[in-house]
Structure 1
Amino acid sequence: MPKVVRRGYQKEDTYEFQDEEKTKLEKAAYELYFLLNQGYPIKQATTFIGNHYMFSERQRLALVRTISSYEDCISRFTKQITTFHDVKTVHIDGFNTIITLEVALSGSPIFKSLDGTIRDLAGLRGNYRIIDKTDKAIHLIYQWLRSKEIKEAIFYLDSPVSNSGRLANVVKEIAETYELQVQTYVIPDVDRTLEKQANVVTSDAIILNKCVSWLNMNSEIIEQINEVWEVSLCSKVVKQEGIFKA
């Protein structure tokens, strides 16, 4: 049997994202949202707030991946595709999408972001290995595409990342059991390629800001996964603004 791997989990997470720490993070998330709307860069604003609350690097990363400015959120909402009958082909940010599903399947913390996407804290850093959750994550993608009657999926994988070629092969092998046209591209700069596309599947903030349109696929898939550890730090922002969903 393959080794069971809990993608995106650290033992400190149980303390850092629950109870009193979560309450502090919710307050900090609102403060970060305020500073971003005043034009402060997210790195400096997160450092300022993180130092004040004495957050760990992982807690600070959760804030960065959860909170965006009002302007960025509205821009992303405007480009989001929510009806799929005209969508025939999707362009999938491979590592970004698959890893988040692996994290969700692992029962590790995932974060409902202010722009509606689901993000995780799993760091890639140029290294990736296929785990016991990988096949299931890919099956979930294909099942979702089939349910929306989307006929073609193009996966983009970063060539500098280890095992990108192996993952591309797994993606294609599993596709053979579905009535889908699937292509995989292992390329040096996935972000720049996706920034020019429509019907993009990703939670990468920079790509979302620049692409023509996008689909929030992972959010819908994860709603159907049992025993997910989903953390929302946006409750104060949602309550104050009234335009976002927690």
Structure 2
Amino acid sequence: MNNRNRGKNTGDDTLFGSEKQISKLKRAVQDMQYLLTREYPEKAASELAGNRYRLKTRQLHAVRGASASRLQVDNRKSKELQISDLKDKTLYLDGFNVVILLESMLSGAYIFEGVDGCFRDLSEVHGSYKRVNQTAKAVDLVASFFQKSHLYKLVWIFDQPVSNSGRIKQTVMDFAEEHQFNWEAELQYNPDKFLAESSEIVVSSDAWILDHCKEWFNLAGYLMKEESLSVNLITIVSR
């Protein structure tokens, strides 16, 4: 029986569970945006912010994910589509990025809202993907979105080098066949490059993809509102 989930890591409540820590992370994001806007390299900017606020590794990971220059934010916002823009369109979905984020959201892990309005988690695929308790529900949520958006076709893109990518691809295709959805699933050796260069709408919270793609849709943001998901959301962006 599968008892795995993508919930919090040991120590995450200490790193992210108090106003003191959230305040520190907000200041770090402000500093990083200031530096990135002035064309500091991301590595240098994150090292400066991390050292200044004495951030732990997972805190720094969250800050990096939430940060972007003002030019990056403006560029991403200019390409963001709304649900009403998707009717009869084809959409390419960054498979592991989306599935793992939804699994994390559903299992109570901390989720971070960035300056670009995207939502990110702290989970990573280190060469191998394993199903968790929330995987089926994650696919169900994508299915609900697919039906409500009236998309023509949804194409899942998975990383071929990742172990078990073939299994999750088959899971998605079996689900599509069962429900008669117009879905496809592909394995790509370099999915980031593939998605960034695609002329189709993409779904991803990967910063590099968002910077280079033609158009994108904020699926996690949509699902949180539309499905009234209970999410352990941390906003480390100053309003």
TM-score w.r.t. structure 1 length?
A: 0.91
Cα distance, 1:136 vs structure 2: 0.6
Count residues in correspondence. 235
| Counterpart amino acid of residue 232 in structure 2 | W
| Preserved contact between residue 223 and residue 229 of structure 2 (Cα < 8 Å) | no
Q: Provide the alpha-carbon RMSD of the alignment.
A: 1.4
| Preserved contact between residue 105 and residue 225 of structure 1 (Cα < 8 Å) | no
Cα distance, 1:46 vs structure 2: 0.9
1:127-160, CA deviations, whole angstroms, 9 ceiling, x for partnerless residues? 2101111111011001111001113111110011
**1:91 partnered with 2:97:** no
Correspondence for 1:232: 235
Correspondence for 1:214: 216
Correspondence for 1:39: 39
SS in 2 for 1:124: coil
Q: Matches of 1:162 and 1:126 in 2, distance apart?
A: 6
Q: In structure 2, list runs of 5 or more residues that go unmatched.
A: none
Change (3 A) 1:54 1:93: same
Q: Matches of 1:112 and 1:213 in 2, distance apart?
A: 20
Q: Matches of 1:227 and 1:15 in 2, distance apart?
A: 21
Correspondence for 2:144: 143
| Preserved contact between residue 87 and residue 199 of structure 1 (Cα < 8 Å) | no
Q: Matches of 2:138 and 2:39 in 1, distance apart?
A: 37
1:61-101, CA deviations, whole angstroms, 9 ceiling, x for partnerless residues? 00000011100010011111113254421101000011000
| Preserved contact between residue 139 and residue 174 of structure 1 (Cα < 8 Å) | no
Correspondence for 1:16: 15
**1:200 partnered with 2:199:** no
| Counterpart amino acid of residue 13 in structure 2 | T
Change (3 A) 1:85 1:227: closer
| Preserved contact between residue 194 and residue 207 of structure 1 (Cα < 8 Å) | yes
Q: Matches of 1:203 and 1:132 in 2, distance apart?
A: 22
Cα distance, 1:111 vs structure 2: 0.8
Q: In structure 1, list runs of 5 or more residues that go unmatched.
A: 239-246
Q: Matches of 1:222 and 1:7 in 2, distance apart?
A: 17
| Preserved contact between residue 76 and residue 115 of structure 1 (Cα < 8 Å) | yes
**1:25 partnered with 2:25:** yes
